[in-house]
């Protein structure tokens, strides 16, 4: 039989209202009474009905989080930041993996809203019209995390991806490289993929160089696409002296493809990445990369959402956090 609040009240010899106050941490309960209620709860194995409490308070103290790829280390670190702040403010998390598929993202958004979450954090790629239609059905706050909306309709926390990519390429230029290839992410994504390509293009143009079509290839942010694309660059009549990969996983794939071809990094070809995942310091040579403050992006996004859910004053709904160049051993200086 399911233990009810009535059973606890009878066991503790108090009213159901008193049990409710204890369960909801109401301070207006005498210490000895609170102790008696807790003892009854423990003895009977009572668990408060979260659904019923949510119906009564119109709050579930639950936040939905849409994550594009749970196997990607960068999103795992963002999720850690979200969860730590959620715990601090006594919110529970429902984490849903969308496999980087728009149709699944839309389905997951609708499912979370149907579950009456108090707020929604969306981590994904481009925010399309389909996403916006789903968001518009929400009666709760929505914050974009590690992505932005070009229309600036929703609060967001992210980095400046174009500036981060520009700084990566500037580092290669500073070290004397002029024939610089890029392994890009999908360009259909304006907030990350295309923005990082624009950063590459801008840095070259600032140095008086043109983007050469044969030196740009599109990857999918996976290790294997980094390997495959690096092998293509190695077969060019004039191979590049350096490769900029739009994320660390593709950069590491490129390093291994270069090494598999009997060449050395950075002596024969330099490689630089973007994100600063844990793998960047585990590969040999260690990867020079541009760091995103991944944990901070998640933490700041969750704190922004708590303010919106609690109707607190928010001065800036679009937060851009700083990136940082991390110099390691995968980039050589050309004499």
**Tens digits of residue pLDDT in 18-58:** 988 888 778 888 999 999 999 998 888 887 765 555 545 55
pLDDT at 226 (0 to 100):
97
pLDDT at 51 (0 to 100):
52
pLDDT at 53 (0 to 100):
54
Give the Cα separation of 62 and 93 in Å (integer).
Answer: 6
Identify which has the larger pLDDT, 22 or 210: 210
Identify which has the larger pLDDT, 19 or 214: 214
* pLDDT of 73 higher than 80: no
pLDDT at 52 (0 to 100):
54
b/e sequence 44-82, b meaning 16+ C-beta within 10 Å: eebeeeeeeebeeeeebbbbbbbbbbeebbbbbbbbebb
The mean pLDDT of 309-315, rounded to a whole number, is 90
Identify which has the larger pLDDT, 212 or 45: 212
Weakest mean pLDDT among 76-80, 84-88, 118-122: 76-80
Q: What percent of the chain has pLDDT over 70?
A: 96
Task: Taking each helix axis as running N to C, give the angle between helix 129-136 and helix 102-114, from 0 to 180 degrees, rounded to the nearest 10.
Answer: 0
Extract long-range pairs of 99-105: CB within 8 Å, 24+ residues apart: 99/68, 99/69, 100/68, 100/69, 100/124, 100/125, 102/128, 102/130, 102/131, 105/66, 105/68, 105/131
* pLDDT of 195 higher than 90: yes
Mean pLDDT of the chain, nearest integer: 91
Q: Kindly report, residue by residue over 124-182, the tens digit of the pLDDT.
A: 777 888 899 999 989 999 999 998 887 888 999 999 999 999 999 999 999 999 999 99
Give the Cα separation of 224 and 49 in Å (integer).
Answer: 47
pLDDT at 55 (0 to 100):
46
Give the Cα separation of 1 and 240 in Å (integer).
Answer: 71
Give the Cα separation of 250 and 229 in Å (integer).
Answer: 9
Give the Cα separation of 154 and 172 in Å (integer).
Answer: 35
The mean pLDDT of 310-321, rounded to a whole number, is 91
φ, ψ at 319 (rounded to 5°) = -105, 125
Weakest mean pLDDT among 185-199, 229-243, 247-261: 185-199
* Residue among 312, 326, 298 at smallest CA distance from 88: 298
* pLDDT of 79 higher than 70: yes
């Amino acid at each position: 039989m399911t233990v009810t609040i009535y059973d606890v009240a009878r066991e503790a010899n108090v009213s159901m209202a008193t049990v409710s106050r204890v369960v909801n941490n109401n301070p207006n309960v005498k210490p000895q009474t609170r102790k008696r209620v807790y003892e009854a709860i423990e003895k009977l194995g009572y668990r408060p009905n979260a659904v019923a409490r949510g119906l009564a308070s119109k709050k579930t103290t639950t936040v939905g989080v849409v994550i594009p790829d749970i196997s990607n280390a960068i999103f795992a670190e963002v999720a850690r930041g979200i969860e730590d702040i959620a715990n601090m403010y006594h919110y529970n998390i429902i984490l849903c993996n969308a496999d980087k598929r728009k149709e699944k993202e839309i389905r997951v958004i609708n499912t979370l809203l149907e579950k009456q979450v108090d707020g929604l954090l969306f981590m994904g790629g481009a925010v399309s019209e389909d996403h916006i239609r789903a968001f518009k059905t929400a009666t709760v706050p929505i914050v974009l995390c590690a992505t932005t909306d070009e229309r600036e309709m929703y609060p967001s926390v992210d980095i400046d991806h174009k500036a981060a990519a520009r700084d990566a390429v500037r580092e290669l230029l500073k070290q004397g490289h002029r024939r610089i290839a890029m392994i890009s992410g999908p360009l259909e994504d304006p907030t990350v993929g295309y923005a990082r390509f624009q950063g590459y293009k801008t840095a070259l143009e600032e140095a008086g160089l043109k983007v050469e079509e044969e030196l740009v290839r599109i990857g999918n942010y996976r290790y294997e696409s980094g390997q495959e694309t690096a092998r293509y660059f190695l077969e060019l009549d004039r191979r590049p002296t350096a490769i900029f990969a739009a994320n660390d996983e593709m950069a590491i794939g490129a390093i291994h493809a270069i090494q598999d071809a009997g060449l050395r990094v950075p002596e024969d070809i330099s490689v630089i990445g973007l994100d600063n995942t844990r793998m960047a310091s585990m590969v040999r040579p260690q990867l020079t990369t541009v760091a995103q403050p991944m944990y901070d992006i998640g933490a700041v996004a969750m704190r922004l959402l708590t303010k919106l859910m609690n109707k607190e004053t928010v001065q800036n709904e679009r937060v851009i956090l700083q990136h940082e160049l991390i110099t390691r051993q995968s980039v050589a200086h050309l004499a």
